[in-house]
Amino acid sequence: MSIEAIHANKSDYLQKLLLPLVFIVLVGITTFISPSFLSPSNLQDILTQAAPLAIVVIGQAFVILVRGLDLSVASLMATVAVIATAFDAQSNDMIPWIFIVAIIFSASIGLINGLLVTKRNVSPFLVTLAMMIVLQGCRFYYTQGAPAGTLPDGFRFLGTGKIVGIPVNVIGFLIIFTLFGFLLKYSTIGRKIYIVGGNPISADLVGISSHNITILCYVISSVLAGIGGLFLVGYVGTVDNFVGRGYELDSIIAAVVGGVALTGGRGTLLGAVFGTLILITLFNIVIIVGLPVQAQLVIKGIIIIAAATYFTKHGLKGH
């Protein structure tokens, strides 16, 4: 093995250790400031809050891997929440139907985003920004600014309940992470996603449809945003027109902090999840030390610049 290869492997190994180390250091700092941070009840609360965002981050990571962005995820979450209340269901038997309708609706939004990006060659930023506005307009027109209707009691269990001490929405996240992590790392589709993200022209030349792969990633992002929105509704317990507000930015930041390169073709879902944990921990530090909530915006801006700069220079490998 050449000296260059040895140095490359060493660098890759150190980069994979970086995210867990940063997370451990932040947890240590937070625990020093507030020893109750690591109490079982507080950890359960944090994981319950983080799970919906982590689900959205997984979907956002797929889009970023193929050189895209999805700014419509937060608006889609709120729209799905409104759709859920439109059933005005009292029985928990309706929950599977609500999920089915929400997933179909979300997939259709992702399909439209993907088609416009690929077939019409419109900027992902403009496409998903426009979709965000369209969804918001439709939502406000339907609700007249005040969502009505009820959700089955089972939604509260999905958002805040526990099974053998583990939050239900965390279990949902783990299932999603396992399924899509396997898809990305071990399947042919996953390898095609990395190839398309690395160089879509080369992908087309070797017989991989970059358009189809990109559309698939937008559908995945929207479906996971819809599912995340339903879990978030269960957590907050009420529905308004701004459920998930800020998740479009937070999901991008978390993915980038986790090493998913904005230039495409590099990054892992595990890294994106660590990025989510790091982001949530930083937000908790802001609250614990008594800084104003606006300080979170400053932190978001700083860490996305720092992460984008670092991973552009040292880029984590995709595999």
* Residues ≥6 apart with Cβ < 8 Å to 66: 193, 196, 197, 200, 210, 213, 214, 217, 264
What pLDDT is stored for residue 143 in this prediction?
84
Q: Which domain holds residue 162?
A: 37-244
Q: b/e per residue, 211-249, with b = 16+ CB within 10 A?
A: bebbbbbbbbbbbbbbbbbbbbbbbeeebebebbeebbb
Say if CB 171 and CB 163 are below 8 A apart. yes
CA–CA gap between residue 189 and residue 208 (Å, rounded): 10
What pLDDT is stored for residue 311 in this prediction?
57
What pLDDT is stored for residue 285 in this prediction?
83
Eight-state DSSP code of residue 146: S
Integer-rounded Cα Rg, in Å, for the chain is 20
**Alpha-helical runs (H) found in 39-153:** 40-65, 73-86, 95-118, 124-143
What pLDDT is stored for residue 255 in this prediction?
93
Q: How far is CA 276 from CA 20, 300, 314, in A?
A: 12, 12, 20
Please indicate, yes or no, if residue 263 is contained in any of the structural domains: no
Please indicate, yes or no, if residue 257 is contained in any of the structural domains: no
Eight-state DSSP code of residue 206: T
Please indicate, yes or no, if residue 179 is contained in any of the structural domains: yes
What pLDDT is stored for residue 89 in this prediction?
76
CA–CA gap between residue 241 and residue 245 (Å, rounded): 9
Please indicate, yes or no, if residue 58 is contained in any of the structural domains: yes
Please indicate, yes or no, if residue 103 is contained in any of the structural domains: yes
Please indicate, yes or no, if residue 289 is contained in any of the structural domains: no
What pLDDT is stored for residue 156 in this prediction?
86
- Tokens 């970023």, residue? 64
Say if CB 65 and CB 265 are below 8 A apart. yes
What pLDDT is stored for residue 33 in this prediction?
87
Please indicate, yes or no, if residue 122 is contained in any of the structural domains: yes
CA–CA gap between residue 123 and residue 176 (Å, rounded): 28
Say if CB 109 and CB 135 are below 8 A apart. yes
Half-sphere exposure of 42 (CA within 13 A, CB side): 13
Please indicate, yes or no, if residue 311 is contained in any of the structural domains: no
Q: Tokens for 304?
A: 């996305």
Domain count, the chain: 1
Name the nearest CA neighbour of 79 among 122, 108, 54: 108
Q: Using N-to-C axis directions, what is the helix angle for 188-198 and 168-186, rounded to 10°? A: 70
What is the chain's pLDDT, residue by residue, as a tens digit (319 residues)?
Answer: 444 444 444 445 555 678 889 889 989 988 998 888 888 888 888 888 899 999 999 999 999 999 999 999 999 999 999 998 888 777 888 999 999 999 999 999 999 999 999 999 999 999 999 999 999 999 999 888 777 677 888 888 988 899 988 999 999 999 999 999 999 999 999 999 999 999 999 999 999 999 999 999 999 999 999 999 999 988 887 777 788 888 999 999 999 888 898 889 989 999 999 999 998 988 888 888 777 777 777 877 787 677 666 655 654 444 4
What pLDDT is stored for residue 22 in this prediction?
87
What pLDDT is stored for residue 38 in this prediction?
86
